[in-house]
Structures are given as structure tokens and as C-alpha cells.
Structure 1
Amino acid sequence: MSRLGSVIGFLRSYKYYIVIFASVVLVGFADENSVWNHIQNRRHINDMHEDIDKYNNMYNKDMRELRMLDRNPKAIEKIARERYFMKADDEDIFVLSDDENKSKNY
């Protein structure tokens, strides 16, 4: 009984600290709206803002390229040659690639 009495005495003397500690743990980590979840959501929002900036930059680059294609017919020819390996009738195309080193499985 003395052991139980000492535990009860400890709880009575530190009851306010125990309640405060339990509340901090509940609000900080255990609750659905906890501080920990709030920090994780902030991090996720920041990652999404970075993605938005990346996609806006890609959109602006593509729009500049599209405007250039509308104005300059030589740009269409350049893209056709670089991306799709198209050629004029009097030309030959040589494709140099180093894919052999990358495709080997060791």
C-alpha cells in the first residue's frame, strides 16, 4: 500500500504539471490539428508553390517558343531538324549517340 500511496502523493503534488504536459502532448502531436501536422502542411504548401513557379516558368518558355514559331518559319525548320531528324532532299543525317554506355546492365 505504501507504493500506491507514494504514487498518489506524487500525482497530487504535481497534478498541474502533469495536466500541462498532457495538454502540450495532445495539442502538439496527438491531435488532428496538431502543431506537427501544421508544420508538415506548411512544408507541403511550400513545395507546391515551388512546383507552381516551375510550371509557370515552363509555360512562359513554351509561350515564347510558340510566338517565335508563329513569326519565324526558319524556327519551324530548326525544330524539325533537331527534334524529329527531318532533312532536306540533298542532305544526309548522322545521329551520334552514347546510349551504348548507359544501356549496359552490370
Structure 2
Amino acid sequence: MSFLKSIKLPRYIKNKFFITALAFVIWIAFLDKTNLMYQYQFQSEVNKLEDQKEFFIKEIRQTREEQQELLSSPEKLEKFAREKYYMKKDNEDLFIISPAPQQ
């Protein structure tokens, strides 16, 4: 016990308010339900979702532009239907040529 009394500690370490504040910081940083690790994970999830939001907003804008373009003229609508959905007229034959699979 005399060994512990011989160690000189600064006054602020012996202060009860300092000890309480230190315990509070440790509790918040490591032991709490929403500690620093969870906060970091939540923030990275938020960043990922914001990036996805930007991507989908851009895709929606592009799709609306394509929709306006298709609805503006029947020729463009017919071309789109033929290319994307392989539609044909009654008196036509449709041949689909696909590239050979690469090995």
C-alpha cells in the first residue's frame, strides 16, 4: 500500500469531476448502444444510400427524357418497339442474330 501512496499523480486525475467525465466518455465511446463503431457504420450506410439515391434520380431523369422522345413521334416509338421488344408487322418475318458466346 505504501507503494501506491508514493506515486505522485497530478491533482486533476484525483478530481471526482475528472473521473466522472472520463467514465462518461468511455461509456459513450465504447459501451453505449450507439457507440462510435455503430455511428461510423451508420454514417457509411447513409453515404452509400445517398449515392444510390443520386444514381436512381439520374436514371429516372434519363427514362423520362426517353419517354418524352418516344411519345413525341410514332416513328421513334415504332423503332423502339422493334429494337427492344422484337415486335413486327403482320406481313414481316423477324430474324434475330446474336453474337457467338465467347469462351
The Cα offsets for residues 43-64 of structure 1, whole Å up to 9 and x where unpaired, read as 1111111111011011101111
Gaps of 5+ in 2: none
Q: Is 1:42 matched up with 2:43?
A: yes
- Per-residue deviation at 1:23? 4.7
- Per-residue deviation at 1:30? 2.1
In the superposition, relative to structure 1, how do residues 101 and 25 fare at CA in structure 2: closer, same or farther (>3 Å)? farther
Distance between the aligned counterparts of 1:55 and 1:80, measured in 2? 24
* Cα RMSD after superposing both structures: 3.0
Q: Percent identity?
A: 20
Task: Report what 1:59 is aligned to.
Answer: 60
**Match runs of 1:4-43 below 5 Å:** 9=4, 16=13, 20=22, 23-43=24-44
**Count, aligned residues:** 92
Distance between the aligned counterparts of 1:47 and 1:28, measured in 2? 24
The Cα offsets for residues 11-37 of structure 1, whole Å up to 9 and x where unpaired, read as x977x49x53x5544322221122222
In the superposition, relative to structure 1, how do residues 30 and 97 fare at CA in structure 2: closer, same or farther (>3 Å)? farther
What letter matches 2:76 in structure 1? A
Higher relative helix content: 1
What's the TM-score, normalizing by structure 2? 0.66
